[in-house]
């Protein structure tokens, strides 16, 4: 039994052509290849050229891997019929592709001048830094000139953003806002039958269908390339059709990828349907998986030789070649020449690709994740008249009264919506209700449902809309109602939004500001799901900027910075709002009003990574590092400690990613002792461990007395018990005394 | 597959037949379809009171006024390249063809889309129509002596185009041909004069840039709209066949011998390439990357494409070639 099947599959195709009796004269290229098919003979050959290119690329990828020169072997063999979409879609219809769509890419590239899909594919196999889309960071199907944003997903986690993009195209067009696509563009999104089961795939279908059923446009084509197997696990016969043929809100089309003329005709019909009705399509394209899941997947471990052989016998390319020859679209000699030509070109492209440079330093690898410096950002202020109108003549900076956090956030958002006409606010309950904590109060009334809208109750969909909308020209400000809810959709930030710049070398961006209400301290109300105090899953995401203000004025200036970074630099920013501080007005005593702040002057912004210092007497011997609820408690502790002669300086981190390590180090060295107050739970949930590790390793702070206090490793319980597991002001005072070498009274 | 080295062939455009090229056609031409077409073309020209092409080629001295006249130059270059191709194809396995500007018309004939005589009809039609367009072309360079891209020169060029263009419709200027490290700019008479005044003089090798291209019109710009309109009928009526080899056009688009639509090629010939920038640079890049030939062959007359093709090879660092010296030593870019 031969384990390696490449040569067998290749030979079967070659033999099919060679054994054809030939003798069919060339027939007119402009006429249908069969019956009344919309596919002409000439187009069939053109599409076949891309299919064969894709097949031969797959084989070359494996040869490169065998020689230790290539690093990726998941191929498109047996899926080549997707090239009909490459030919039929416009080259500016966004295409979010899974890894078996190489033929589609090749076919689309043929429609545009200056494209070099063959060489580009080789560069990606060998992970060259000259790979035009990812710069050697991943083998992705992508192109900045062909509107193919790269997807690295193997689990269909790109479907929500495809639906979101489709929704946003029509939304932005309706609002008369500049669009990165044509207003009648459709979004194409491919994936496999096995990954259709994934929760994010289901979220994508649901989002599109929900739009359609609610009368909203969502022109997306979900193309399920059904090869009947996911690695070694077979999809039951008829499964995809049973699941999707009658799904409300999705128009189902089906084609057999082994029938080129039929696939072309149905694809044409589906695209026209989607483009004209602006409704979502589920396109079921039956394909065959050849050469295993990847080069490392040995089919003999789960299939018999007979089964493998029978599968390879179903190779769609055999039928396509036969069709071309039988119909007189090409002569036998012509097809042999075409084959030889492509074989040589693929080999030659590979020869040069292996010589091209690779990424050679960590700095180069990381470069696309760079966080912008403040000097690179323009803090935008809306036009005076438009601001006056939006605030109905009462500009917030003219209001002398200091205000609390929840009062300033909607003002900041309103101001930003004036400054950025493409800023969209969306999430659960954000529209007419103005958010469960009123953080979006008044926006719906001022800007209308086009720019301020409620979404379906699903965080994956919210973040999918954000990603898609950002890529077609919006500045999305999605809201996640509670921190705990972000975790069911975390991959939309971690694996998708935050990684786009990395895998596209910054050529595609999805700048956004995700507002999330979170943390504990809600006086026993809400329990875990409304008091989540872990942000560990967010802190580890490369390239993400995380802001977490604790006071009203900082909220305003930090939102301004995040908006500018998202719009100008494509930064994905998170804005964590401490629920317990929304209405807080006082710090020490009821009525002291020390937590009320004026509206920062328009244009004033807080630079990313800049902490705020609350100095004490000037002779501080302790640095307390904290943020959010912990900050307020630290300030309370600061006063108590001062009375005891322990002088503390308090540093509000404000930015949790990237952390202001340098500033912390500097202040720590000046004060001589460090206490990190981390309201998150103890293990990997907050930033304190990272802060202490940096201090312990830095020359100027190593050896200083330092410690942290955190919450317990538990979920937050309901009622007064909540306080038993979260940091309290007294804990801070006690820890500070210990650090200062004083006994607690 | 033949043992001959594989080659992509570049057909030169206007300006390639100069003093040095006198007699090139005669020296190169062999009996066959090209010679037959030349005989017919000459007969037609003589009947129309024009000097025969072979007579121009055989003239004892090069007369700029005569040899650089648009219709004469186009005819000379076309037949000279076709004749040269017949020689070259015996030494090389030509896998793909592209051309620079006028060279695109030649490329169509080299690739067999048009037979040599119909190619001549295309040349004549386009030359006649283009002669009516007012305006001109200038040639400038954005590389240094070592053929490295000079970003400052590039920016200066952009700024000059913007500032001259901003003076009004009568100062229309645009990029005409992207030609490796050379840039051909075109525009109205006023626009061209202003561009020549605005662009700083720069010396590359022995040549001083920018300079006006004598007898050239504002090709590959919107100023040729009338040409395109009038050309469409006669050009698309020419009998065309599928190419016998790959063709890469002035958008850098690839056309295969098995799927190219000959009618669409003619349509683009009368429209796309007439009205917008001819991107020869893209064509070279595509041919290098998608064919990786043994040789990038610059057909005669002359060697005008050697530098532009070389510029692209260096910009790409193709086969590790990053200096002019290494490029020359490699023999990758050839004129014969």
Taking CA–CA distances from A42, the nearest residue in chain B reads B259
A116 touches chain B (CB under 8 A): yes
Interface residue B321 vs chain A (CB under 8 A): no
Rounded to an integer, what is the distance from CA A483 to the centroid of its chain? 18
Residue A345: count of CB within 10 angstroms of its CB: 23
In terms of DSSP bridges, do strands A95-96 and A233-234 run parallel, antiparallel, or are they unpaired?
unpaired
Our CA-based measurement puts residue B201 at a distance from the nearest CA of chain A, in whole angstroms, of 31
Whether B3 has its CB under 8 Å from any CB of chain A: the answer is: no
Interface test with B, best of A52, A53, A86, A114 (most B CBs within 10 A): A114
B139 vs A492: CA distance, rounded Å: 51
Interatomic CA distance for residues A340 and A336, integer angstroms: 6
Report, as an integer, the average pLDDT of A259-288. Answer: 98
Asked whether the predicted pLDDT for residue A652 surpasses 80, the reply is yes
B279 touches chain A (CB under 8 A): yes
B110 — phi, psi (to 5°)?
Answer: -60, -40
Tell me the chain B residues in contact with residue A25 when contact means C-beta distances shorter than 8 Å: none
Q: Say whether pLDDT at B2 is over 90.
A: no
Question: How far are the Cα atoms of A427, A610, A708, B89, B332 from residue A423, in angstroms, in the given order?
Answer: 13, 25, 39, 61, 53
- Answer yes or no: do A110 and B254 touch at CB < 8 A: yes
Is A118 within 8 Å of B285 when comparing Cβ atoms? Answer: no
Please list every residue in chain A whose beta carbon sits closer than 8 Å to the beta carbon of residue B256: 45-46, 49, 338
CB B185 within 8 Å of CB B209 = no
What is the model's pLDDT at position A743?
66
Percent of chain B residues past pLDDT 90, beyond the cut: 95
Chain B hits for A330, Cβ within 8 Å: 258
Closest CA of chain A from B104, distance in Å: 15
Cis peptide before B301 (omega within 30 of 0): yes
pLDDT digits (tens, 9 = 90+) for B204-236: 888 899 999 988 999 999 999 999 999 999 999
Distances (CA, A) of A413 to A556, B286, B300: 8, 48, 66
Q: Stretch A217-241: mean pLDDT, rounded?
A: 96
- Find the mean pLDDT for residues A27-40: 95
Give the gap in angstroms from C-alpha A352 to the nearest C-alpha of chain B: 7
Query: How many Cα atoms sit within 13 Å of A8 on the Cβ side?
Result: 15
Q: How far apart are alpha carbons A563 and A555 in whole angstroms? A: 12
| Yes or no, beta carbons of A46 and B290 under 8 Å apart | no
- Counted residue by residue, chain A has a size of 745
**A342 in reach of chain B (CB within 8 A):** no
Q: How far apart are CA A102 and CA A121, in angstroms?
A: 8
Verify whether the Cβ–Cβ distance B258 to A338 is below 8 Å: yes
Contact B277, B101 (CB under 8 A): no
Judged by a CB distance cut-off of 8 A, whether residue A340 touches chain B is yes
The predicted pLDDT at position B53 comes to 97
User: Would you state the pLDDT for residue A411?
Assistant: 98
Q: Is the minimum CB–CB distance between B320 and chain A shorter than 8 Å?
A: yes
Q: Is B244 on the interface with A (CB under 8 A)?
A: no
Question: What span, in angstroms and rounded, lies between the C-alpha atoms of A418 and A703?
Answer: 51
Q: Give the closest of B253, B259, B293 to A113, CB-based.
A: B253
Q: Binning pLDDT at 50, 70 and 90, where does residue A115 land?
A: very high
CB-based contact (8 Å) between A351 and chain B?
A: yes
CB contact under 8 A, A115 and B252: yes
Picking from A610, A716, A591, the residue whose alpha carbon sits closest to that of residue A659 is A610
B251–A contact, CB cutoff 8 A: yes
Say whether residue A352 is in contact with chain B using an 8 A CB cutoff.
yes
Taking residues A620-637, what's their average pLDDT? Answer: 98
CB contact under 8 A, A118 and B257: no
Helix (H, G, I), strand (E, B) or coil at A653: coil
Angstrom CA distances, A110 to A88, A133, A260, A264, B147, stand at 12, 17, 18, 17, 31
Residue with tokens 């009909």: A84
Contact B261 A29 (CB under 8 A): yes
Q: What angle do CA A491, A494, A496 make, to 5 degrees?
A: 75
Beta bridge partners of B139: B184, B211
Cβ atoms < 10 Å from Cβ of A97: 28
B332 Cβ under 8 Å from any chain A Cβ: no
Contact A511, A472 (CB under 8 A): no
CB atoms within 10 A of CB B150: 18
Among A108, A341, A344, the residue to mutate for chain B (most B Cβ within 10 A): A341
For residue A113, give the nearest of B258, B282, B292 by CB distance. Answer: B282
Residues A475 and A375: their CA atoms lie apart, in Å, by: 21
Which residue, chain included where needed, has tokens 């002291």?
A592
| Residues whose CB is less than 8 angstroms from the CB of residue A371 and which lie 6 or more positions away in sequence, other chains included | A543, A545, A565, A571, A608, A609, A658
Q: Which residues of B212-241 are buried (b: 16+ CB within 10 A; e: fewer)?
A: ebebbbbbbbebbeebbeebbebbbebebe
d(CA A165, nearest CA chain B) in Å: 29
Residue A342 clears pLDDT 80, i.e. is over it: yes
Note the pLDDT tens digit of each residue in A70-109.
999 999 999 999 999 999 999 999 999 999 999 999 999 9
Which residues lie closer than 8 Å to A735 by C-beta, 6 or more apart? A675, A707, A709
B257 in contact with A, Cβ within 8 Å: yes
Q: What is the pLDDT of residue A7?
A: 95
The strand pairing partners of B6, in sequence order, are B93
What confidence score (pLDDT) does residue B28 get?
A: 97
B84-91 CB contacts, 8 Å cutoff, 24+ apart:
B84/B24, B84/B28, B84/B299, B84/B300, B84/B301, B84/B336, B85/B9, B85/B11, B85/B110, B85/B299, B86/B28, B86/B30, B86/B32, B86/B34, B87/B28, B87/B30, B87/B336, B88/B7, B88/B9, B88/B297, B88/B299, B88/B336, B91/B4, B91/B336
What's the rounded mean pLDDT across residues A376-390?
A: 98
Q: Would the CB atoms of B1 and A351 count as touching at under 8 Å? A: no
Cβ of residue B312 closer than 8 Å to a chain A Cβ: no
- Average pLDDT (A6-24) is 95
* Any A CB within 8 A of B261 CB: yes
3-class DSSP state of A215: coil
List strands edge to edge, sheet with A220-226. A95-96, A187-192, A220-226, A281-286, A251-256
Check whether A617 has a pLDDT greater than 90: no
A379 φ, ψ to 5°?
-80, 110
Residue A91 and residue A111: Cα distance in Å, rounded?
A: 7
A355 in contact with B at a CB cutoff of 8 Å? yes
Q: Enumerate residues 43 to 82 of chain A having a beta carbon within 8 A of any beta carbon in chain B.
A: 43, 45-46, 49
**Per-residue tokens: A468:** 């898609």
Is 70 exceeded by the pLDDT of residue A387?
yes
Does A232 reach chain B within 8 Å, measured CB to CB? no
Long-range contacts, B35-40 (Cβ 8 Å, 24+): B35/B83, B36/B116, B36/B117, B37/B79, B37/B82, B37/B115, B37/B116, B37/B117, B37/B119, B37/B120, B38/B79, B38/B116, B40/B117, B40/B120
- What is the rounded average pLDDT for all residues in chain A? 96
Q: How far is Cα B109 from Cα B115, in angstroms, rounded to an integer?
A: 6
Predicted confidence at residue A744, as pLDDT, reads: 60
A113 reaches B (C-beta below 8 A): yes
10 Å CB burial of residue B277 (0-12, 13-18, 19+) is buried
Q: Which of B252, B259, B320 sits opposite A114 (nearest CB)?
A: B252
Q: How far apart are CA A14 and CA B140, in angstroms?
A: 50
B278 touches chain A (CB under 8 A): no
- Cβ atoms of B255 and B246 closer than 8 Å: yes
What does the pLDDT average to over A353-378? 97
Give the pLDDT confidence score for residue A524 in this predicted structure: 85
pLDDT (tens digit per residue) in A417-426 = 999 999 999 9
Q: What is the mean pLDDT of residues B176-193?
A: 97
Coil vs helix vs strand at A546? strand
DSSP output for A146-157: TTB-----SSST
Distance CA B306, CA B12 (A): 10
Report the C-alpha gap between B60 and A450 in whole angstroms.
77
> Which DSSP letter does residue A397 get?
G
CB-based contact B292 A112, cutoff 8 Å: no
Interface contact flag, A341 B95, Cβ < 8 Å: yes
Look at A355 and B320 and tell me if their CB atoms are within 8 Å: yes
Q: How far apart are CA A568 and CA A564, in angstroms?
A: 6
Best of B96, B285, B292 to disrupt the A interface by mutation (most A CBs within 10 Å)?
B292
Residue-averaged pLDDT of chain B: 96
Question: pLDDT band for position A745 (50/70/90)?
Answer: low
Rounded CA-CA distance A547/A515 in Å is 10
Using CA atoms in the order A248, A251, A256, A260, what is the torsion angle rounded to 10 degrees?
-170
Q: Which percentage of chain A shows pLDDT scores above 90?
A: 95
The tens digit of pLDDT for each residue in B8-19 reads 999 999 999 999
**For residue A352, which residues of chain B lie inside 8 Å, CB to CB?**
289, 292, 318-319
A352 to B319: CB separation less than 8 angstroms, yes or no:
yes
Chain B: give the shortest CA distance to residue A16, in Å. 19
d(CA B22, CA B17): 8
Q: CB distance from A119 to chain B under 8 Å?
A: yes
A286-339 pLDDT, tens digit each: 999 999 998 888 899 999 999 999 999 999 999 999 999 999 999 999 999 999
Say if the Cβ atoms of A355 and B319 lie within 8 Å: yes
For residue A153, what pLDDT band results from cuts at 50, 70 and 90? low
Other residues' Cβ atoms within 10 Å of the Cβ of residue A122? 29
d(CA B299, CA B313): 17
What residues in A contact B113, CB-CB < 8 Å? none
Q: How much is the ipTM here? A: 0.96
| Predicted model pTM | 0.96
Residues from chain A contacting residue B254 (CB–CB below 8 Å): 110
Q: Which residues of A608-646 are buried (b: 16+ CB within 10 A; e: fewer)?
A: bbbbbeeebeeebbbbbbbbbbbbbbbbbbbebbeeeeb
d(C-alpha A88, C-alpha A745), whole Å: 79
């Amino acid at each position: 039994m031969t384990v390696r099947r490449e040569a067998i599959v290749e030979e079967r195709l070659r033999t099919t052509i060679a054994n054809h009796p030939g003798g069919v004269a060339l027939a007119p290229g402009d006429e249908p290849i069969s019956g009344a098919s919309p596919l002409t003979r000439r187009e069939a050959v053109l599409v076949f050229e891309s299919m064969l290119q894709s097949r031969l690329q797959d084989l070359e990828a494996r040869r490169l891997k065998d020689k230790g020169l290539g690093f990726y072997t998941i191929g498109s063999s047996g899926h080549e019929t997707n090239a009909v979409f490459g030919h039929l879609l416009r080259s500016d219809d966004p295409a979010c592709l899974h890894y078996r769509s190489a033929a589609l890419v090749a076919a689309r590239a043929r429609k545009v001048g200056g494209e070099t899909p063959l060489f580009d594919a080789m560069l990606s196999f060998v992970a060259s830094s000259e790979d035009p889309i990812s710069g050697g960071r991943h083998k992705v199907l992508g192109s900045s000139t062909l509107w193919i944003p790269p997807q690295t997903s193997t689990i269909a986690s790109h479907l929500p953003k495809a639906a979101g993009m489709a929704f946003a195209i029509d939304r932005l067009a309706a609002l008369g806002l500049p669009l990165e696509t044509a207003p009648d563009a459709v979004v194409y999104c491919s994936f496999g039958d096995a990954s259709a089961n994934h929760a994010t795939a289901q979220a994508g279908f649901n989002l599109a269908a929900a739009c359609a059923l609610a009368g909203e446009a969502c022109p997306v084509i979900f193309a399920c390339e059904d090869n009947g197997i996911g690695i070694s696990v077979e999809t039951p016969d008829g499964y995809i059709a049973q699941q999707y043929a009658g799904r409300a809100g999705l128009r189902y089309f089906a084609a057999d990828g082994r029938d080129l003329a039929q696939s072309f005709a149905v694809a044409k019909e589906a695209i026209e349907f989607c483009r004209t009705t602006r409704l979502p399509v589920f396109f079921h394209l039956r394909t065959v998986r050849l050469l295993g899941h990847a080069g490392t997947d040995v089919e003999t471990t789960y299939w018999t030789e007979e089964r493998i052989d029978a599968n390879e016998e179903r190779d769609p390319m055999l039928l396509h070649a036969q069709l071309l020859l039988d119909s007189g679209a090409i002569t036998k000699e012509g097809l042999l020449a075409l084959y030889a030509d492509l074989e040589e070109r693929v080999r030659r492209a590979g020869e040069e690709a292996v010589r091209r440079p690779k990424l050679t330093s960590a700095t180069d690898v990381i470069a696309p994740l760079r966080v912008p410096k403040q000097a690179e950002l323009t803090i935008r202020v809306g036009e005076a008249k438009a601001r006056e109108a939006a605030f109905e003549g009462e500009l917030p900076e003219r209001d002398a009264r200091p205000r609390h956090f929840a009062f300033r956030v909607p003002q900041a958002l309103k101001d930003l919506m004036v400054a950025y006409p493409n800023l969209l606010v969306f999430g659960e309950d954000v529209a007419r209700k103005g958010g469960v904590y009123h953080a979006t109060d008044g926006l719906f009334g001022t800007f209308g449902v086009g720019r301020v809208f409620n979404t379906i109750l699903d965080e994956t969909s919210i973040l999918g809309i954000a990603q898609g909308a950002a890529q077609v020209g919006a500045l999305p400000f999605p809201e996640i109602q509670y921190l705990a809810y972000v975790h069911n959709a975390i991959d939309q930030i971690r694996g998708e939004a935050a990684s786009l710049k990395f895998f596209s070398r910054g050529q595609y961006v999805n700048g956004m500001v995700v507002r999330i209400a979170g943390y504990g301290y809600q006086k026993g109300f809400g329990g875990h799901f409304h008091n989540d105090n872990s942000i560990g899953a967010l802190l580890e995401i490369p390239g993400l900027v995380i802001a977490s203000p604790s006071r009203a004025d900082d909220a305003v200036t930090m939102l301004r910075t995040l908006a500018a970074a998202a719009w100008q630099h494509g930064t994905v920013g998170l804005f964590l709002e401490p629920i317990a501080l929304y209405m807080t007005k006082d710090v020490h005593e009821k009525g002291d009003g020390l937590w009320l702040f004026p509206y920062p002057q328009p244009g004033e912004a807080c630079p990313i990574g800049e902490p705020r210092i609350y100095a004490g007497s000037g002779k501080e011997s302790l640095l307390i590092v904290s943020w959010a609820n912990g900050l307020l408690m630290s300030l309370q502790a600061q006063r108590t400690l001062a009375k005891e002669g322990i002088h503390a300086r308090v540093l509000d981190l404000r930015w949790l990613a990237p952390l202001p390590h340098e500033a912390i180090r500097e202040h720590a060295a000046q004060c001589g002792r460090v206490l990190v107050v981390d309201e998150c739970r103890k293990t990997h949930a907050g930033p304190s461990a990272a802060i202490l590790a940096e201090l312990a390793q830095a020359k100027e702070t190593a050896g200083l007395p330092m410690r942290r206090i955190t919450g317990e490793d538990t979920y937050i319980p309901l009622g007064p018990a909540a306080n038993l597991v979260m940091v309290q002001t007294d804990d801070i005072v006690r820890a500070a005394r210990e650090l200062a070498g004083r006994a607690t009274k | 597959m033949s043992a001959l080295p594989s080659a992509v062939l570049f057909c030169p455009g206007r300006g390639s037949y100069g003093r040095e090229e006198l007699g090139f056609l005669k020296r190169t031409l062999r009996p066959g379809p090209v010679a037959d077409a030349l005989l017919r073309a000459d007969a037609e020209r003589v009947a129309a009171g024009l000097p025969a092409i072979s007579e121009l080629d055989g003239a004892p001295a090069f007369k700029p006024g005569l040899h650089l006249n648009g219709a004469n130059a186009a005819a000379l270059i076309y037949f000279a390249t076709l004749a040269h191709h017949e020689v070259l194809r015996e030494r090389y396995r030509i896998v793909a063809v592209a051309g620079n500007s006028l060279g695109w018309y030649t490329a169509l004939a080299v690739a067999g889309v048009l037979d040599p005589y119909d190619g001549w009809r295309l040349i004549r039609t386009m030359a006649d129509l283009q002669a009516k367009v007012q305006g001109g072309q200038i040639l400038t360079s954005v590389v240094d002596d070592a053929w490295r891209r000079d970003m400052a020169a590039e920016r200066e060029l952009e700024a000059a185009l913007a500032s001259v263009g901003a003076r009004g419709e009568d100062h229309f200027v645009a990029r005409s041909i992207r030609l490796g490290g050379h840039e051909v700019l075109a525009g109205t008479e006023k626009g061209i004069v202003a561009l020549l005044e605005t662009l700083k003089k720069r010396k590359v090798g022995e040549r001083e840039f920018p300079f006006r291209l004598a007898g050239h019109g504002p090709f590959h710009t919107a100023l040729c709209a009338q040409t395109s309109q009038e050309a469409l009928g006669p050009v698309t009526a020419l009998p065309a066949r599928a190419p016998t080899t790959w063709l890469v056009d002035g958008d850098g688009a690839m056309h295969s011998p098995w799927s190219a639509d000959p009618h669409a090629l003619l349509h683009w010939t009368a429209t796309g390439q007439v009205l917008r920038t001819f991107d020869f640079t893209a064509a070279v890049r595509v041919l290098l990357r998608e064919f990786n030939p043994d040789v990038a062959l610059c057909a005669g007359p002359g060697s005008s494409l050697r530098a532009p093709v070389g510029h692209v090879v260096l910009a790409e660092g193709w086969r590790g070639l990053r200096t002019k010296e290494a490029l020359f030593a490699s023999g990758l870019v050839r004129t014969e």
